[in-house]
Chain A
Amino acid sequence: MKRWHHYAFAVVAGLAAGAGGAWAVIHKGLNDGRLSNGPWSTALNYGTKDTDSLTRASVALRAILALPSTETVYWNAAADSDGIPLDGSCTYAMTGKPLDARWWSVTYYDKRGYLVANAANIWSFSGISVTPAEKDGWRVTIGPDKVDGHWLPSAKGQPFELTLRMYNPGAGFRASPKDAILPVLKKERCA
């Protein structure tokens, strides 16, 4: 092999490895944030000029126009509290307490980050739905079949993700997000 062949091979291989690697990592999802809390993960530098280029590109693909954490914290979950990927054929109990934020919600998305059609036209559960009687704890059933109480419909046969939004998080939360009490996701059964 001639010497210039070595350089040509190195350049082509470098371009392929660098571009291909970056593209693959961007598409891996949002679950590689720097901060984890149970099944939820986030990065607190979304939308800022200090964001690293990988996080910026991943957010552009999966959650473009996200606000900085001073305004909103976005937690994402692709697995339940036991670390098993979320499956729309299964039924989950999502339990928690009112969160330390001016407003919060949990929204159901497909793996690409889009809302999924369901007959009930329900795609999220928010703190507005928590009654005074539930101030010590609330439960939402996530599953394909309608249940009494709070229900977030899932799509059978499809994996899914949940995004927990905390708008104007409180001072207690901001002091230590990793120690905040966030909703628990427990699988109860699968169809």
Chain B
Amino acid sequence: MTRWIVPLLVFLATAAGAWHATLAAATFGLMEGAVRRLSLRAGLNTMSYGQLATPANQPIVRPSPDLAYSSCPFDLSAGPLLIQYVPVAGRYSSLSVFNARTDVVFVRNDEQAGGKPVRIAIAREGQKVPAGVETVRVGYDRGIALVRLLLADPAEIAQFDAIRRQSNCATIRG
């Protein structure tokens, strides 16, 4: 009987390690897949202005068909990222930033922003950002910044196209 105790402990320790490793691999892998799918639109470190989600347009699982999503998949290996988010007056909208582990490292909605544009920098520790810019330090290079805009009617997406395109993102060079 005692000769099985140590192998049993090895089994339990290995199972626990495999459990946690699988959960972590799934999380990071699924997020990396989302970064790559969204970067097919306009590349990394560039904001793209998606059409409303329909059964034929679902780059991300469980999309809301009532929200216009603008997305900026990013990679900080070439430098920090500057994001500008411009709210639409009288409409729910928000900017959220997700790191490679899917954690939200920043979120601000139109009311919190007072209806005014928001400029933030996303940077790794040690990366230089312009003075005076609100900065969010993150622990991973890759992630996604997402602007959500609520539409009362699908036809409004054309009406708000110009103001949606005022939200953008770009790598901060040297």
Q: In the complex, what's the smallest C-beta–C-beta distance from A115 to chain B, in angstroms?
A: 5
**Would A56 and B27 be within 8 Å (CB), given that A11-B10, A167-B92 are in contact?**
yes
For B12, B17, B96, the residue with the greatest tally of chain A CB atoms inside 10 Å of its CB is: B96
Assembled-state Cα–Cα distance A133/B64 (Å): 26
Residues of B within 8 A of A23 (CB): 22, 26
Assembled-state Cα–Cα distance A165/B148 (Å): 13
Which of B103-111, B124-132, B162-170 forms part of the interface with chain A? Answer: B103-111
Q: Count how many chain A residues have C-beta atoms less than 8 Å from C-beta atoms of the other chain.
A: 56
How many inter-chain contacts with C-beta < 8 Å in the A-B complex? 162
**Contact assessment for A116 and B3 in the assembled complex, using a CB-CB cutoff below 8 Å:** no
Q: In the complex, what's the smallest C-beta–C-beta distance from A84 to chain B, in angstroms?
A: 22
Q: Per a CB cutoff under 8 Å, which of A17, A48, A60, A103 touches B92? A: A103
Q: Which residue of A lies closest to B16 (CB)?
A: A18
**Would A107 and B15 be within 8 Å (CB), given that A10-B10, A60-B31, A65-B98 are in contact?**
no
A22-B22, A65-B96, A117-B56 given; 8 more Cβ-contact pairs under 8 Å: A7-B6, A13-B15, A107-B64, A113-B62, A115-B53, A123-B54, A123-B55, A124-B64
B contacts, CB < 8 Å to A? 3-4, 6-8, 10-24, 26-27, 30-31, 34, 53-56, 58, 60-66, 92, 94, 96, 98, 101-104, 107, 109, 111, 144, 146, 150, 152
Shortest 3 CB-CB contacts between residues of A and residues of B: A14-B14, A18-B18, A18-B15
